[in-house]
Chains A and B, each alone.
Chain A
Amino acid sequence: MSLLKLAKWARLKSPWILHVNTGACNSCDIEVLAALTPRFDVERFGAILKPSPRHADILIVTGALTRQAVERVKRVYEQTPDPKFVIAVGACALSGGVFQGCYGVLSGVDKVMPVDVYVPGCPPRPDAIIHGVIKLIEKVSKSG
């Protein structure tokens, strides 16, 4: 097995997740956290929450992207080693949600980083978030 293949295999079996809040109302964040707890248990797919961007493969981004948080979020994205994937969770992260048009938000994380999977909902259920993670794993396994 070549080294690249080995890395891809490892990534698919055990994707490490970093959760970034860009100014969410906390609902999406607690649902992301709920996805990790016994009822939903995303860890059965090998995914585990990591505290540092330098260890992460997947960024789960929530929130409407406030102007104050933009620079920080960009920095977190740059600190994550390649290849990295982004899942935008919640109506806010997708398009600004209820906060669309507020002076403090940029409305949508895809304005500053490429997004691979969008999970709609306000907030999405933990099942939906897990579905998003699985979709991303499928997408990566199909790509070369």
Chain B
Amino acid sequence: MPSVDINIGPVHPALHEPEKFVFKVDGEVVVDVEPRLGYVHRGIEKAAGEKTFTQAVYLVERVCGICNVAHTLASVQAIERAFEVDVPARAKYLRTIIHELNRLHSHLLLLGVACELMGFDTLFMMLWRDREVVMDLMELATGNRVMSAYNVIGGVRRNISDHEVSTIRKALTSLSEGVKRYRKAFAEDPTIRARCVNVGRLSPFKGISLGAVGPTARGSGINVDVRVKEPYAAFDEIQCTPITYNEGDSWARFMVRIDELHESIRIIDEALNKMPRGPIRVPVAEVAPQTAESFSIVEAPRGELLHHIYVKKGEDRPLRYRIRTPTYANMPALCEMLKGGYIADIPVTLVSIDPCFSCTDRLTLIDIRSHKRKVVRLKSSI
């Protein structure tokens, strides 16, 4: 029987962002997937080259609002490397703490959305209720719930007082009780297992050859974690254990995230214990002191995130700014997972890579056959 095309998107309840997928289906089974990305393309890389270094950090923070701390961290680290600036030790610890708080909020958010798509609304509401604990801590430490603008070139914007340290500790202890309950629900609940186990399988071989990153790769038993392999901020002094599961299905990817919640809480606790006293910020020149190229990789909640910049001596803006985001790297693996699955399993598989299309949509069009760049009017590609 010839296959039938099913369009999902760009505006669709299972996708919280405008993105389109064309599924070729044979009966109930998906035989091929064609993603059509680009609906959230705003032109950030170009705009970043037109802003001063300080402004560019605020702009790239808004590449993706969910992992905004990872974006600012990667950005300021890349700029600091190009400028050859050393950041005070306390600032490194503070960056680590906020980075992990951001991971907590992102993972809780994703697990909640996954429950919503499975039709398990009670657990969705409970996860989001507990997520508010993390949002309160973000507000306490940075002054804002979501967009924290916490990392600045040369350090961080705010200190954490001893009183705040004890508030954070208390809140995280109660959160960790909740996470234990959710872990039990995900590990044992028959409804969740029925929807996730053996759904959207990705073998370790495929995962490596398609370049999967982050929890998507770790769910297939691939041991990659930038925090361990290329320690940044305070991760060279804080112990961090990568979480891997070998099953390679959607369930394993959710379990990786739940175990990472515990790991993040432990990392924050260790960082709060070890944090030295001292300055939190050093002054940095506004213009680049030398011509340089630098990059910085961090482990965003969705995986490896790379910021790459060129700076020219005496200029106050980057010559070129490039960002490679985790969801973009995970797209080929996602298409592989969806093939061979049922139509009803599409939403769960999709959400199990924790897609973030506002990150992904910064594409350059190059005609690979002629190796020529082609100017395509954006309108004509709609």
Chain A residues near B356 (CB-CB < 8 A)? 26
Q: Could you tell me the distance in whole angstroms from the C-beta of B12 to the nearest C-beta in chain A?
A: 8
B121-164 near A? 1/0 per residue, CB < 8 Å? 00011001100100100000000011100000000000000000
With A28-B65, A98-B59 in contact, is A21–B13 under 8 Å at CB?
no
B180: CB under 8 A from chain A? no
Which of A26, A98, A102, A103 is the one whose CB lies under 8 Å from B358? A26
Establish whether residues A34 and B128, one from each chain, have CB atoms under 8 Å apart when the complex forms. yes
Chain B residues near A105 (CB-CB < 8 A)? 42-43
Establish whether residues A30 and B66, one from each chain, have CB atoms under 8 Å apart when the complex forms. yes
Establish whether residues A27 and B39, one from each chain, have CB atoms under 8 Å apart when the complex forms. no
Establish whether residues B43 and A103, one from each chain, have CB atoms under 8 Å apart when the complex forms. yes
Establish whether residues B11 and A72, one from each chain, have CB atoms under 8 Å apart when the complex forms. yes
A20: CB under 8 A from chain B? yes
Report how far A71 CA is from B10 CA in the complex, Å.
Answer: 11
A67: CB under 8 A from chain B? yes
| 8 A Cβ contacts from B53-90 to A | 58-59, 62-66, 68
Establish whether residues A25 and B358, one from each chain, have CB atoms under 8 Å apart when the complex forms. yes
Chain B residues near A97 (CB-CB < 8 A)? 62
B42-58 near A? 1/0 per residue, CB < 8 Å? 11101100000000001
Which of B46, B66, B146, B379 is the one whose CB lies under 8 Å from A67? B379
A99: CB under 8 A from chain B? yes
Report how far A125 CA is from B358 CA in the complex, Å.
Answer: 20
Nearest chain B residue, comparing its CB with the CB of A49 = B13
Chain A residues near B11 (CB-CB < 8 A)? 20-21, 53, 72-73, 76
Report how far A105 CA is from B42 CA in the complex, Å.
Answer: 6
Q: Could you tell me the distance in whole angstroms from the C-beta of A62 to the nearest C-beta in chain B?
A: 10
Establish whether residues A103 and B46, one from each chain, have CB atoms under 8 Å apart when the complex forms. yes
| Interface size range on B against A | 35 or more
A39: CB under 8 A from chain B? yes
A123: CB under 8 A from chain B? yes
B20-55 near A? 1/0 per residue, CB < 8 Å? 000000000000000000111111101100000000
Chain B residues near A30 (CB-CB < 8 A)? 65-66, 109, 146
B378: CB under 8 A from chain A? yes
Q: Could you tell me the distance in whole angstroms from the C-beta of A70 to the nearest C-beta in chain B?
A: 8
Q: Is the interface of B mostly helix, strand, loop or mixed?
A: loop
Chain B CB within 10 A, most for which of A24, A30, A34: A30
Q: Could you tell me the distance in whole angstroms from the C-beta of B374 to the nearest C-beta in chain A?
A: 16
A141: CB under 8 A from chain B? no
Chain A residues near B59 (CB-CB < 8 A)? 98
Chain B residues near A73 (CB-CB < 8 A)? 11
A57: CB under 8 A from chain B? no
Chain B residues near A95 (CB-CB < 8 A)? none
Chain A CB within 10 A, most for which of B16, B124, B125: B16
Q: Could you tell me the distance in whole angstroms from the C-beta of B136 to the nearest C-beta in chain A?
A: 9
Establish whether residues B18 and A72, one from each chain, have CB atoms under 8 Å apart when the complex forms. yes
Establish whether residues B62 and A68, one from each chain, have CB atoms under 8 Å apart when the complex forms. no
Establish whether residues B147 and A122, one from each chain, have CB atoms under 8 Å apart when the complex forms. yes
Report how far A97 CA is from B132 CA in the complex, Å.
Answer: 26
Establish whether residues A123 and B47, one from each chain, have CB atoms under 8 Å apart when the complex forms. no
Establish whether residues A69 and B39, one from each chain, have CB atoms under 8 Å apart when the complex forms. yes
B17: CB under 8 A from chain A? yes
Establish whether residues B378 and A104, one from each chain, have CB atoms under 8 Å apart when the complex forms. yes
B309-340 near A? 1/0 per residue, CB < 8 Å? 00000000000000000000000000000000
Nearest chain A residue, comparing its CB with the CB of B62 = A25
Q: Could you tell me the distance in whole angstroms from the C-beta of A96 to the nearest C-beta in chain B?
A: 9
Chain B residues near A33 (CB-CB < 8 A)? 16, 128
Chain B residues near A38 (CB-CB < 8 A)? 125, 128-129
Of all A-B residue pairs in the complex, the 7 with the closest CB atoms, nearest first, are: A27-B65, A51-B13, A104-B43, A37-B128, A102-B43, A25-B65, A26-B65
Extra contacts, 18 of them, besides A27-B68, A123-B147 (Cβ < 8 A), are A28-B65, A29-B16, A29-B17, A29-B65, A31-B145, A33-B16, A34-B128, A37-B125, A51-B13, A67-B382, A68-B41, A70-B382, A98-B59, A99-B43, A99-B44, A102-B43, A123-B65, A125-B145
CB<8 Å pairs between A and B, sample of 10: A21-B40, A22-B18, A24-B17, A30-B146, A37-B129, A52-B13, A69-B18, A69-B40, A98-B62, A105-B43
